[in-house]
Amino acid sequence: MSLVDTQEGAVRGPRIPWLVTFLARRGLWALITLIVYLAVVFILIQVWVPFNFATPARLAGPDAYQAALEALGLDRPLTERLFEFVGGLVTFDLGTSFTGDPVTTMIADTAPVTIFIFAVGALLAFVIGESLGRFGAWHRNWPTRSILSTIGVLFTTIFPPFLVFLIAFFLRDPFWDLREAMGLPIDSLEVWRDVAVEQNEVMLLMSLALLGAVIGGALVRIWAHRNRVRWVAASALPVTVVAAVVGVGLAGFGAEAIDLLYRSEMSQTVATGSPLLVLVGVVLITFGQVMFMMKVGIEDERNEDYVLTARAKGLTEEVVRDRHVARNALAPAIAGSFLALPTIIAGMVIIEFGLEVRGLSWAFFNAVETQDIPLIMGVLVVLGVMGIGLRVVADLVIAYLDPRQRRA
């Protein structure tokens, strides 16, 4: 853990902590990337797609086609649409959906679930994939390796709608039973009848509690490692996560939180599926990618001289693997996993839609099928912001692990 303080030796002038300069640089990077991304989205939707969105109307004759263009707002000059888009972004206003509601509200209603699933799912998938990859790469006997590889390839390349079917077929009933076992009524509406808060607020509370737990746990872990309090280091993360869960329960939202997670499409009145099932799906399609990256990383590192040195010092295999090799393999694994992000986001959106969770993808698919251009763009904007934000966080983790990256 002493790696943190070994930077910035030769710099003249006042010492700025690496974190500040790093965040400034990554912030600028994120801004530029976001602008380019938004430009791509604008071109995709406003320039490329209109041929298609208005295409069905073309068959009905030129008048109908013109009417369709007007209805979609595509008859206005491109510059006008561009100014509207940019102006809207600056004021956090994404326009009005064709349903009449502001896009911002529609996204605010649907995004929390998706963000929760994405964040928790990515984190879980990373933890699982990282440990499996570490395990698989270190143990060279072929049954372990090939079984892990096969499972990884199968889930990475699975057709997401089919995964939806598998989850619904095998997991829906057990989840349903679990919900019943916790004493919740079948109809979600009954749970929320006398509750003053919005569902999204509970979702937000859960997300924040979990986020706080993970960050707090990580900080305690670092502190414990520095001071060599082993049992604290080992138990820090689980304890804080459990504390967060208990905390949400004590705050009086236990039943509501469980209801949110264990939704069943059978509760017709609220009519949404279970985010937890989507979470399982996201983890399944993601962990394989991380596992491969980790395996590649470990196999690169394991033949380096420092591994030999570590063994020669008499360290146990676990310590060599976890403290020396895995730590160095982790940064490339995180960076490599990011290249799989488009596949993962696409998969998540499909699974979420398939399991009837009213998240961003529900908004997205409805928008595409009703040609609701402002809403499509709004969803893509939010997905991009989420991805870029996650990337900055991941870069921070990489920089923490690998001092060489702090100036990159």
Which residues are at the interface with another protein (CB under 8 A)? 10, 12, 24-25, 28-29, 32-34, 36-37, 40-41, 44-45, 48-49, 52-53, 55-56, 146, 149, 153-154, 156-162, 165, 292-293, 296-297, 299-300, 331-332, 335-336, 338-343, 345-346, 349-350, 364, 368-369, 371, 376, 380, 383-384, 387-388, 391, 398, 402, 404-405, 408
**305 vs 318, beta carbon nearer another protein:** 305
Q: What are phi and psi of 21, to 5 degrees?
A: -65, -40
Residue 169 CB contacts under 8 Å (≥ 6 apart), including other chains: none
Choose between 113 and 258: whose C-beta lies nearer to another protein. Answer: 113
Burial class (CB in 10 A: 0-12, 13-18, 19+), 263: buried
Crossing angle between the packed helical segments 373-401 and 18-42, to the nearest 10 degrees: 150
Rounded least distance, CB 250 to another protein, Å = 38
User: Least distance (Å) from another protein to the CB of residue 212?
Assistant: 26
By beta-carbon proximity to another protein, the closer residue of 261 and 334 is 334
Rg (CA), the chain: 24
CB of 352 to another protein, least distance (A): 12
Query: Residue holding tokens 């208990």?
Result: 246
Buried b / exposed e over 266-304, threshold 16 CB at 10 Å, is ebeebebbbbbbbbbbbbbbbbbbbbbbbbbbbeebbee
CB 326 → another protein: shortest distance, Å? 15
Please report where in the chains the tokens 């009417």 appear, as a residue: 67
Residue 267 gets which letter from DSSP? -
The residue among 125 and 376 lying less far from another protein, judged by its C-beta, is: 376
Residue 220 beta carbon to another protein: minimum distance, rounded to whole angstroms: 29
The minimum distance between CB 209 and another protein, in angstroms, equals 27
- Beta carbon nearer to another protein, 169 or 231: 169
- In sequence order, what are the residues at sequence separation of 6 or more whose Cβ sits closer than 8 angstroms to the Cβ of residue 249? 257
Q: How far is the CA of 85 from the CAs of 50, 65, 78, 240, 275, in angstroms? A: 16, 24, 10, 42, 32
DSSP 268-306: TTT----HHHHHHHHHHHHHHHHHHHHHHHHHHHTTSHH
Give CA–CA dist 263/199, Å, rounded: 12
Q: Name which of 66 and 157 has its Cβ closer to another protein.
A: 157
* Minimum separation from the CB atom of position 141 to another protein (A): 14
User: In this complex, which beta carbon is closest to another protein, that of residue 61 or of residue 161?
Assistant: 161
Q: Which is nearer to another protein, 113 or 376 (CB)?
A: 376
